[in-house]
Amino acid sequence: MISTRAATRGSLASKRASAQLLKSFNGLTTSTTIGLRPSFIVVHQFEPIATGRRNFTTTPNPNIKEFFPKKETERVRRTEAAWPHPVYTPEQMNAVVVAHREAKTYSDKVALIAVKVLRWGLDLATGYKHDKAVAMNKKDPAAANQKYAMNERKYMIRNVFLESVAGVPGMVAGMLRHLHSMRRMKRDNGWIETLLEESYNERMHLLTFLKMSQPGPFMRLMVLGAQGVWFNALFFAYLISPRTVHRFVGYLEEEAVITYTRQIADIDAGRLPEWEKLEAPEIAVDYWKMPEGHRTMRDLLMYIRADESKHREVNHTLGNLNQKEDPNPYVSEYKDLAKPHPTKGLAHMRPTGWERSEII
């Protein structure tokens, strides 16, 4: 509970804590992960203590009003997810790995640079110095861990922010392809549904995290601002070069897989004790059809990471295709079923995407 903790330290301590927090939203988890690429960062500001408001907190509080409680109606018993989630087996989810697709073409390089620039901007905005973190880790791992390590609250803040922007690209791409198909009076070849489903899936990630946390006004403002800029940037980028945007999303999803892999590793290493006991909320159990006995926070992160790996694969694959002519390989039926091919689930995973010559 950020505001309560800060309240006990006074305003000076709160300032120091803010500065500390800004520096520490860096994607580094522990001294052991300091060599990895940093993920995206969230800026968060504390609310003055006297108001007693919770700008962003993840600490359970029985007084928190539920964000979006179930609405009882006279006739409706339940509302199922409009896009049922494919079932993932534990073996498939365990097989998800961190991966990077080499930037081969000019368009790939532009996409990778865009991801790097975005990360650099966020690093700068939050005062995070990756090199400093690495250097400090070499000299004093304990101090580096204290200064840069992530905890449940920081991870949750970042997850909420990232998921709130992750649901935008699929919706923009789906919308533009929808309009293009009508405007040009041409078939879309099945891309729209996959793109919209991706943004739906990302929104389910966000709603799930929101069931476990409560963003305050500052976080809401940030999400609003980010969405305004992000949506418009993607809109114009997709009009100019859809292939580059798919590659860009593929690279972003590579980062997402890294982020969730770190969180899972931190739980396993006992660094996130609050999450060890945390149960997945009902919305997640229903959506992912999480089996009984496998409904912990760790299980939930395994599902979410698997989803991110799927987005990574889908977007890298779409980035390899002819944007105007090719059918969506994720909803296509294949002539030779014995050969591995893209699927909606986790069968035949291809972290860096399928090449066009393999599937079209």
Q: Which of 108, 202, 266, 299 binds Fe ion (CB under 5 A)?
A: 202
Q: How far is the CB of 304 from Fe ion (least distance, A)?
A: 6
Query: Is position 178 annotated in a ligand binding site?
Result: no
Q: Cα separation of 337 and 345, whole Å?
A: 16
- The stretch near Fe ion (CB under 5 A) out of 125-133, 195-203, 314-322, 340-348 is 195-203
What is the nearest approach in angstroms of Fe ion to the Cβ of residue 331? 19
166 binds Fe ion (CB under 5 A): yes
Q: Is 255 annotated as a binding residue?
A: no
Minimum distance of Fe ion from residue 270's CB (angstroms): 25
For Fe ion, the binding residue among 44, 119, 153, 205 (CB under 5 A) is: 205
Nearer to Fe ion, 47 or 308 (CB): 308
d(CA 283, CA 144): 37
Site for Fe ion in 248-307 (CB under 5 A): 253, 256
Examine residue 158 and tell whether it contacts Fe ion (CB under 5 A). Answer: no
Does 163 belong to an annotated binding site?
yes
Q: Determine whether the annotation assigns residue 205 to a binding site.
A: yes
Piece of 23-31, 140-148, 308-316, 327-335 that binds Fe ion (CB under 5 A)? 308-316
Q: Of the two residues 205 and 271, which places its CB atom closer to Fe ion in the complex?
A: 205
Which residues share a beta bridge with 296? 279
Is 246 annotated to bind a ligand? Reply is: no
List 108, 299, 308, 313, residue binding Fe ion (CB under 5 A): 308
What is the binding site for Fe ion (CB under 5 A)? 163, 166, 202, 205, 253, 256, 308, 311
